[in-house]
Structure 1
Amino acid sequence: MANKMVFFGLIVALLQAASTEGTNHEPSLDDVPLSIYVDAGKEIDHFISLAKSIDEKQRILEEALARLSAEVKETEQRWNERLLAEVKATEERWTERVSILERKLEDLSNKQRRPAERACEKITNESIGVTSISRTPSNVTWTIPSYFTDKKLCRGTYIDRGFVLTTANCMLSYKFSEVGFFFSDSTVFKEIKATHIHPEYLIKNPLFNNIGLVELDSDVKYTSELLPPCMYTSEFYPKSGLMTKGGKVQIVADSECLDTNTNSSNLHHSQICAKYLENTCTYPGEPILMVDEETIPKYRLFGIVGTKSCNSKPYVITRVFNYLDFIERIVWPKNGNLISN
């Protein structure tokens, strides 16, 4: 019994010692679990504040970008307006300079062009509206001696409102008193104010410088039946297209027009030998025209017939080009008819 009590006492003592040792033991990290305590409400507030700050900065940045874009756009618009204004002003200045230069060139060109060429331009401008020609050619007129009834004796070409071009020998052979213009429904007669014969006209066979002008006492109005031709101002012969009222005209060798009974061995440099392709007659002063169907007026006066000829016999043509100076001095003198009419 006693041994049992001793044994039991030892057990109690050991238990008390173990209890005392457990009470005095210092804890370690390995002995105690790690715990982290987080304040969730505080962290959420922090993130919300940060987000608001970012939004505010983004808004400020967007506003700054918008202002910058508006300023750039406004600056671009101002520069575009200024550039357009400068371009327009420069264009206007250059347009004015070009216009002045064109006027100067036109004045220079007008001074260099023959009066006959300027007269052609004037006739063309005044013929606007005359789109059809009822007679071919429309510009043929007849000069009529006072005592002769044959209206086809002498012919001429109406080259300006107050002038008819014809031959010198026709004017000297007969004393003209009037010029007749024959239209489809009427006849207009004009009295003669003066005649102008070429100062170097020579009565020979062939007749040299056989050209002259009849100056009328008043003008004749242009119509579809009466429209002056332009002067043929080129020194070169046209290759084709020559005609007169009787039909087509062909240039032939000079020898066919020479009279073997005279001492003449060649034609004057202003003369050409020609003949009709149709069997018809020609009359002094009849115009030989170059035809251009594309223009109004569509005729250019190349020359005039010197003497009467029938049955397709060759005849002499006086070239107009060689006598432009003579014609221009009378019909379109400087500061004269070309400007005032």
Structure 2
Amino acid sequence: MMSFRNSQCIFMLFILCITRLGCCTPQNIDKVASTTSVPTVNKSTSIETYSSAEMCEKYSELIYVKIKDPILLPSQEDHFIKFKDCRIVVPLITNGTLADSKEFPHMALLGYTKNPKDNAWACGGSLISNRWVLSAAHCDKIENSLFVQWARLGELNYLKDTDDARPKDYKIVQRVVHPNYKPPLLYNDIALFRLEEDVTFSAYVRPICLNADPNLKLTAPQKVVATGWGQILHKGPVSPDLLKVDLEVIPASQCKSNYASSAKSQLPNGILDDSQICAGYARGEKDTCGGDSGGPIQIPHSDYTCMYKQIGVTSFGKKCAEENSPGVYTRVSKYIPWIEQIVWPKSG
């Protein structure tokens, strides 16, 4: 039976194993009544939006910092030059490694307690605008209908304040679950969470770009990058550090075969290639696990330096890093019209 890649109590798990939703009821968790809105979006709608591609181009400028030209004489008119304030993507190593400061500034931790200082971090997400975090639908609530309440941005190690990070907690005020997410079915596992206030962008916090091209060819053995906080090895100790790991795209035919015997109550139509992506390794080795739910899988952006393009949202799997058990991710490009109408509507 499949299970979501969700929480192991307070800690988020990284090398993605599959655990059942929730394992404890943390203290100080506020049982908020659901006010989730679930607008239905269709292609015939007349709502005008900014495209995700337009916003990506805009966000790509955030990697630059302007400074006054130091070689100008005092009498000369001020002239500013730009330089990049970011981390260049570097090759990844086996079984994951620590993420660098400013390398994944879009990463979000999702918390479920009333007080963020005592938070139970149970999912991940990605910042996609100044007000919205993209995540998985099953991250909307955990055990006992405890709804997500906080998003922490700009974090590296959530137990330290001596690393080069600029964390800040943002209250979540609106939860938008995809209208076609119908558990126990494992399809359309995607959601948007709106923050109470605008995010101030910096080298430590800025949005990720979204892949809007449904024809983007992701063929094995192409690598994608998964990021999250948590367990370093299956059943091993948890890590409070943000980690990164490279995964291989698994061919659709192979993934469908891997899940052919799965519970029909969860996957009656098997793996759907147009809305799901499989990634991992045929021999196991590396994977995503419980607690990384909602976090991104991404590739370096081909047009903008120091930028990533999100292609998937961590959804579910069988067991962590086990042979022939790839992780399954919600394909972002399938849901671009739905995302755009919620996140970037044009006024007037």
Question: Fold-level match, TM-score > 0.5?
Answer: yes
Please tell me whether the aligned partners of residues 298 and 311 of structure 2 are also in contact (alpha carbons under 8 angstroms).
yes
Amino acid at match of 1:275: G
1:226 aligns with 2:205: yes
Q: CA deviation at 1:150?
A: 4.0
Deviates more, 1:179-188 or 1:258-267: 258-267
Instruction: Say which of 49, 52, 58 aligns to 1:122.
Output: 58
Q: CA deviation at 1:121?
A: 1.3
Q: CA deviation at 1:260?
A: 2.5
Instruction: Give a deviation string over 1:285-307, Cα, whole Å, max 9, x none.
Output: 01010114772342001010113
Task: Give 2:188's aligned residue.
Answer: 209
Number of aligned residues = 224
CA distance in 2, matches of 1:229, 1:261: 34
Task: Give 1:298's aligned residue.
Answer: 307
CA distance in 1, matches of 2:178, 2:339: 9
CA distance in 2, matches of 1:223, 1:325: 27
Amino acid at match of 1:208: Y
Instruction: Give a deviation string over 1:54-74, Cα, whole Å, max 9, x none.
Output: xxxxxxxxxxxxxxxxxxxxx
Q: CA deviation at 1:113?
A: 9.8
Could you say if the C-alpha distance between residues 222 and 259 of structure 1 is closer, same or farther in structure 2, counting changes exceeding 3 Å?
farther
CA distance in 1, matches of 2:299, 2:206: 15
CA distance in 1, matches of 2:277, 2:200: 32
CA distance in 2, matches of 1:322, 1:296: 25
SS of 1:272's equivalent? strand
Q: Which has the higher helix share?
A: 1
Task: Give 1:267's aligned residue.
Answer: 271
CA distance in 1, matches of 2:113, 2:60: 34
1:164 aligns with 2:146: no
Higher RCO (CA < 8 A, seq sep 6+): 2
Gaps of 5+ in 1: 1-111, 337-341
1:310 aligns with 2:320: yes
CA distance in 2, matches of 1:261, 1:323: 25
SS of 1:227's equivalent? coil
CA distance in 2, matches of 1:126, 1:186: 16
Please tell me whether the aligned partners of residues 272 and 317 of structure 1 are also in contact (alpha carbons under 8 angstroms).
yes
TM-score scaled by structure 2?
A: 0.58
SS of 2:340's equivalent? helix
Please tell me whether the aligned partners of residues 247 and 278 of structure 1 are also in contact (alpha carbons under 8 angstroms).
no
Instruction: Give a deviation string over 1:116-135, Cα, whole Å, max 9, x none.
Output: 11111111234322432234
- CA-based RMSD: 2.8
SS of 1:124's equivalent? helix
CA distance in 1, matches of 2:326, 2:286: 11
Task: Give 1:332's aligned residue.
Answer: 344
Task: Give 1:62's aligned residue.
Answer: none
1:242 aligns with 2:187: no
Give the 5 Å matches for 1:84-95: none
Please tell me whether the aligned partners of residues 127 and 222 of structure 1 are also in contact (alpha carbons under 8 angstroms).
no
CA distance in 2, matches of 1:176, 1:116: 25
CA distance in 2, matches of 1:139, 1:270: 23
TM-score scaled by structure 1?
A: 0.59
Could you say if the C-alpha distance between residues 149 and 218 of structure 1 is closer, same or farther in structure 2, counting changes exceeding 3 Å?
closer
Could you say if the C-alpha distance between residues 261 and 199 of structure 1 is closer, same or farther in structure 2, counting changes exceeding 3 Å?
closer
Please tell me whether the aligned partners of residues 242 and 250 of structure 1 are also in contact (alpha carbons under 8 angstroms).
yes
SS of 1:224's equivalent? coil
Could you tell me the percent identity over the aligned residues? 23
Deviates more, 1:122-131 or 1:223-232: 122-131
CA distance in 2, matches of 1:138, 1:126: 11
Amino acid at match of 1:298: M
Q: CA deviation at 1:226?
A: 2.2
Could you say if the C-alpha distance between residues 137 and 243 of structure 1 is closer, same or farther in structure 2, counting changes exceeding 3 Å?
same
Give the 5 Å matches for 1:129-168: 129=65, 130-133=84-87, 134-146=101-113, 149-151=119-121, 153-168=122-137
Could you say if the C-alpha distance between residues 201 and 113 of structure 1 is closer, same or farther in structure 2, counting changes exceeding 3 Å?
closer
Amino acid at match of 2:105: S
Q: Which has the higher strand share?
A: 2
SS of 1:210's equivalent? coil
Could you say if the C-alpha distance between residues 188 and 114 of structure 1 is closer, same or farther in structure 2, counting changes exceeding 3 Å?
closer
Task: Give 1:177's aligned residue.
Answer: 149
Please tell me whether the aligned partners of residues 248 and 278 of structure 1 are also in contact (alpha carbons under 8 angstroms).
no
Instruction: Say which of 154, 163, 167 aligns to 1:187.
Output: 167
1:287 aligns with 2:323: no
Instruction: Give a deviation string over 1:282-327, Cα, whole Å, max 9, x none.
Output: 3210101011477234200101011376235422110110000110
Amino acid at match of 2:196: D
Larger Rg: 1
Instruction: Give a deviation string over 1:13-64, Cα, whole Å, max 9, x none.
Output: xxxxxxxxxxxxxxxxxxxxxxxxxxxxxxxxxxxxxxxxxxxxxxxxxxxx
Please tell me whether the aligned partners of residues 132 and 224 of structure 1 are also in contact (alpha carbons under 8 angstroms).
yes
